[in-house]
């Protein structure tokens, strides 16, 4: 069969552009895995709304100029498929010991275990976020937001398929076992939790959802970018296409937070409130006060920082040396791509002080990726702060210091303020609720989470979006709940 790699074959049960129809063994393995996936979706996917018609995009091509088509779909009928970006001709391993050698189309035997582990860790995050967000449909602030939630959910499901394809095609029996385990673990489960901390936390409300898609999906973006550099070409191609979808998830987060901030500022102005830190007065308006938004931001940013692992790591060095996981925008960096003699400044705790210390660049790769991530995060602050200053308020949302509220790496055993001042346990205990969401903050936000399901209407605490999805008008019915 002569297939155009750009276009997706929808004639098979599993849509794909990897010629599954002629890859009988892998097709069989995936078809064997499919029922378990559907069971997982019905147990752990969005609660309710499974019969509703949702205006979703489905990928029909991997051409970045036009790859998605929008239509009403019942979520269980979404066509989850296997989509790889087109193969780049003569691609080489762009970094590490194998720099300049032809990229691998098969798994190199000596790196098999490491590759499998990285694919499993990435794969595990995809269903985890669906599990974390499963109850949010019931409190959606609008049909527009509900649709975006479900879009993110079905695409995270597809990302799971993407990783499972790699496991089943390239890792034989243990790949199939890992694929089954990805459906067995559950976010927050005491016996079989998901593999990474942030993916076992609750996403209790919609502000958390927006923070999660802004900060935690952005960690995903950084990881996918590094894996898109991989010398193992099928992994690179898979991640490159996933990044196309990921962009929407972060858009949902960034614009979601913008709309919350906007609504708060508008309400404060209408009510003549001059002090944005007068929490009681602001909350009485049915909007979320800026200090509480800052606390949520502190929480989700720091949980996401933990996902980058220890600042100094031999695992990270090995993954780079072997050509498996590169740096953010590796091919655009102007150096030897081997890091033989270079150093990188790492924040460390030295004699009770936070100091920058030069470390061999190879072992500091997690720190470097985390720095790239933090820089990427700043863009949102600028946008949100613009909304606040335009409304005439002197208040700035800020990223907290990387020593604040950490559970992994250099600062896990100390307490620091959001400004990076080290403090003792007693001070931390006293001040914690000033910096991170308290139970009372959570209760207040929960009290606002009243569902709005009339087309074109929005909950009190969030502004409408500037433009609709797929350029639809403001009163478009993005979800037909009763269908």
User: Which residues within the stretch 259-278 sit at the binding site for Fe ion (CB under 5 A)?
Assistant: none
In Å, what is the CA distance from 423 to each residue of 339, 414, 431? 36, 8, 10
Pairing of strands 422-423, 479-480: unpaired
46 with 147: CB under 8 angstroms? no
- Closer to Fe ion by Cβ: residue 248 or 368: 248
Q: Which stretch binds Fe ion (CB under 5 A): 73-81, 138-146, 182-190, 245-253?
A: 245-253
> Given the complex with Fe ion, which of 266 and 372 has the nearer CB atom?
372
Total count of residues recorded for the chain: 483
Measured between alpha carbons, how far is 169 from 148 in angstroms, rounded to an integer? 31
- Give the H/E segment covering residue 41: helix 24-44
Is the separation of the CB atoms in 346 and 367 below 8 Å?
Answer: yes
Cα–Cα distance measured from residue 121 to residue 129, given in angstroms and rounded to the nearest whole number: 13
CB of 198 to Fe ion, least distance (A): 13
CB of 455 to Fe ion, least distance (A): 26
| Single residue of 98, 249, 300, 406 touching Fe ion by CB under 5 A | 249
Angle of helix 314-321 versus helix 365-390 axis, rounded to 10: 100
The site that binds Fe ion (CB under 5 A) totals a number of residues, namely: 6
Q: Which is nearer to Fe ion, 230 or 294 (CB)?
A: 230
131 in contact with Fe ion (CB under 5 A): no
**Strand 68-74 versus strand 53-59 pairing type:** antiparallel
In angstroms, the CA 360 to CA 402 distance is 20
| Closer Cβ to Fe ion, 359 or 372, answer by number | 372
Q: Which of 217, 306, 311, 371 binds Fe ion (CB under 5 A)?
A: 217
Q: Which two tokens stand for residue 220?
A: 């995903």
Q: In this complex, which beta carbon is closest to Fe ion, that of residue 159 or of residue 225?
A: 159
From the list 94-102, 213-221, 316-324, 471-479, the region that binds Fe ion by CB under 5 A is 213-221
Measured between alpha carbons, how far is 31 from 176 in angstroms, rounded to an integer? 12
Binding residues among 49-68 for Fe ion as defined by CB under 5 A? none
- Measured from the CB atom, the residue of 156 and 289 that comes closer to Fe ion is 156
CB of 132 or CB of 417, closer to Fe ion: 132
CA 286 to chain centre: 29
Closest contact distance (angstroms) between CB of 158 and Fe ion is 8
Q: Which residues contact 335 (CB under 8 A, 6 or more apart)?
A: 342
Q: Which stretch binds Fe ion (CB under 5 A): 110-118, 158-166, 194-202, 204-212?
A: 158-166
Q: Which is nearer to Fe ion, 123 or 418 (CB)?
A: 123
DSSP string, 188-203: T-SSS--SSGGGGS--
**Which strand (E) or helix (H) includes residue 389?**
helix 365-390
Question: Do 363 and 346 form a contact (C-beta atoms < 8 A)?
Answer: no
Name the minimum Å distance from CB 464 to Fe ion.
24
Question: To the nearest whole angstrom, how small is the minimum distance from the Cβ of residue 133 to Fe ion?
Answer: 11
Least Å distance, CB 304 to Fe ion, is 12
d(CA 261, CA 276): 11
Residue 253 host element (H or E): helix 233-270
CB-based contacts of 389, cutoff 8 Å, min separation 6 = none
Q: How far is the CB of 156 from Fe ion (least distance, A)?
A: 5
Among candidate residues 421, 401, 425, the one with its CA nearest the CA of residue 413: 425
- The nearest distance, CB 126 to Fe ion, in angstroms, is 5
> Least distance from C-beta 298 to Fe ion, angstroms?
22
Question: Least distance to Fe ion from the beta carbon of 146, Å?
Answer: 17
Q: Which stretch binds Fe ion (CB under 5 A): 77-85, 154-162, 412-420, 449-457?
A: 154-162
Q: Which stretch binds Fe ion (CB under 5 A): 209-217, 278-286, 296-304, 463-471?
A: 209-217
Interface residue with Fe ion among 98, 116, 158, 159 (CB under 5 A) is 159
Nearer to Fe ion, 58 or 363 (CB): 58
Beta partners for residue 205, in sequence order: none
Question: Interface with Fe ion by CB under 5 A: which residues?
Answer: 126, 156, 159, 217, 246, 249
């Amino acid at each position: 069969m002569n297939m155009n790699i750009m276009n997706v074959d929808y004639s098979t049960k599993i849509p794909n552009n990897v010629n599954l129809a002629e890859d009988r063994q892998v097709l069989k393995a995936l078809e064997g895995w499919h029922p378990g996936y559907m069971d997982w979706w019905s147990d752990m996917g969005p609660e309710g709304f499974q019969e509703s018609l949702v205006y979703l995009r489905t990928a029909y091509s991997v051409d970045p100029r036009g790859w998605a088509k929008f239509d009403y779909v019942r979520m269980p009928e979404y066509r989850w498929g296997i989509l790889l970006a087109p193969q780049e001709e003569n691609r080489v391993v762009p970094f590490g010991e194998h720099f300049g050698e032809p990229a691998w189309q098969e798994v190199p035997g000596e790196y098999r275990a490491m590759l499998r582990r990285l694919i499993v860790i990435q794969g595990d995050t995809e269903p985890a976020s669906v599990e974390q967000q499963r109850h949010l449909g019931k409190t959606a602030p609008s049909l527009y937001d509900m649709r975006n939630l479900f879009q993110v959910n079905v695409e995270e499901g597809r990302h799971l398929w993407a990783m499972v394809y790699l496991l089943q095609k390239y890792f034989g029996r243990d790949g199939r076992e890992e694929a089954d385990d990805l459906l067995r673990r559950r976010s927050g489960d005491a016996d079989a939790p998901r593999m990474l901390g942030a993916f076992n936390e609750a996403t209790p409300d919609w502000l958390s959802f927006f923070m999660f898609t802004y900060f935690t999906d952005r960690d995903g973006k950084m990881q996918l970018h590094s894996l898109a550099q991989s010398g193992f070409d099928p992994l690179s191609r898979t991640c490159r296409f996933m990044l196309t979808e990921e962009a929407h998830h972060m858009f949902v987060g960034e614009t979601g937070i913008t709309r919350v901030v906007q609504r708060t500022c508008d309400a404060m102005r209408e009510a003549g409130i001059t002090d944005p830190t007068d929490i009681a007065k602001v909350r009485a308006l049915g909007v979320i006060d800026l200090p509480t938004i800052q606390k949520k931001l502190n929480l989700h940013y720091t949980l996401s920082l933990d996902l980058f692992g220890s600042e100094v790591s031999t695992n990270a060095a090995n993954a780079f040396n072997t050509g498996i996981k590169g740096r953010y925008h590796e091919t655009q960096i102007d150096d030897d791509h081997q890091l033989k003699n270079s150093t990188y400044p790492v924040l460390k705790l030295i004699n009770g002080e936070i100091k920058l210390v030069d470390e061999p660049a190879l072992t500091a790769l997690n720190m470097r990726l985390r720095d790239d991530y933090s820089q990427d995060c700043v863009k949102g602050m600028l946008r949100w702060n613009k909304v606040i200053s335009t409304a005439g308020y002197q208040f700035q949302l800020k990223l907290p210091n990387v020593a604040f509220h950490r559970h992994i790496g250099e600062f896990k055993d100390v307490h620091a303020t959001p400004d990076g001042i080290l403090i003792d346990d007693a001070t931390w205990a006293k001040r914690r609720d000033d910096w991170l969401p308290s139970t009372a903050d959570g209760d207040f936000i929960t009290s606002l989470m009243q569902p709005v399901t009339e087309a074109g209407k929005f909950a009190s605490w969030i502004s409408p979006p500037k433009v609709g999805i797929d350029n639809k008008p403001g009163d478009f019915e993005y979800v037909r709940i009763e269908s």
